[in-house]
Amino acid sequence: MVTPLETKHISKSYGNERVLSDINLSLNSNETLSILGRSGCGKTTLLKVLGGLESPDGGTVFVNQTDIQTLQPQDRDVVYLYQEALLFPHLTVFENIAFGLRLRKIDEKKVSKRTHTMIRKLQLNGMADRMPDQLSGGQKQRVSFGRALITNPSVLLLDEPFGNLDAYTRSNMQELFKQIANDLTITAVFVTHNVKEAILMGDRIGSISEGGLTIYPSVEAFVESEKNGVQEEIEFWQSIDKNTN
């Protein structure tokens, strides 16, 4: 069975600061790996290395068991999704979503069919002709998802994509992502600093601390670990619970 994403001994430093140290990971098809970590711990750097937007100091990245280390980001079949929606401001919702298909010079009828199907999946019916500045934050993030997913990339990299959304919209988007990721058999790395989100979104969970990545064998092992801040969070909610009772 082909492994969609694998890294071996990835390391990266900025000056004297070691951000990533000997990172090894391997993802199965249609699997989402949540990576939890504090701000500045190297989560985004890891995603950028995987996407080809940053060069590692050492190590190798494999996509579908092919070494992609020397490939440009546009040739990796790995799509990076930012915290901000970053929609192209001069294009409509339809054209934003269809962007990747147009680059691949796909037949106009197929572009139209696939884009409208994606718009329906994203529950953005009737908004195809809207410009980005006519959308809410949640709607923008949906379009951003659709734009990333429509080309069916081998790996999707999500860098705290719901970080700027309110709790209700965030919860909706989490459900929507899980549903679409399942439908389209997406393999993804989902980076977040939110413990609950890491558990909800990931089939497996990892955490980055002091440059090292720990991938937990189960949710229980993740919860029991003292390295990732979950215990502090549990204690906090238990203390609230005690105080209110």
The residues that touch another protein, with contacts defined as CB under 8 A, are: 51-53, 72-74, 76, 78-80, 82, 84, 86, 88-92, 95, 99-100, 102-104, 131, 147-148, 151
Structure tokens at 232: 């502090």
CB-count burial class (<10 Å; 0-12, 13-18, 19+) for 28: middle
Nearest distance, CB of residue 155 and another protein, angstroms? 11
Distance (Å, whole) CA 3 – CA 63: 7
Longest dimension (CA), the chain: 63
- Judged by beta carbon, residue 41 or residue 81, the one nearer another protein is 81
- The neighbouring-strand residues paired with 79 are 156
**Amino acid occupying residue 2:** V
Residue number, 16 or 74, with CB nearest to another protein: 74
Work out how close the CB of 232 gets to another protein at its nearest, in angstroms, rounded to a whole number: 33
CB of 92 to another protein, least distance (A): 8
CB neighbours of 229 closer than 8 A, spacing ≥ 6? 36, 38, 195
Nearer to another protein, 51 or 202 (CB): 51
Report, in Å, the least distance between residue 90 CB and another protein. 5
- Is the Cβ of residue 92 or residue 174 nearer to another protein in the bound state? 92
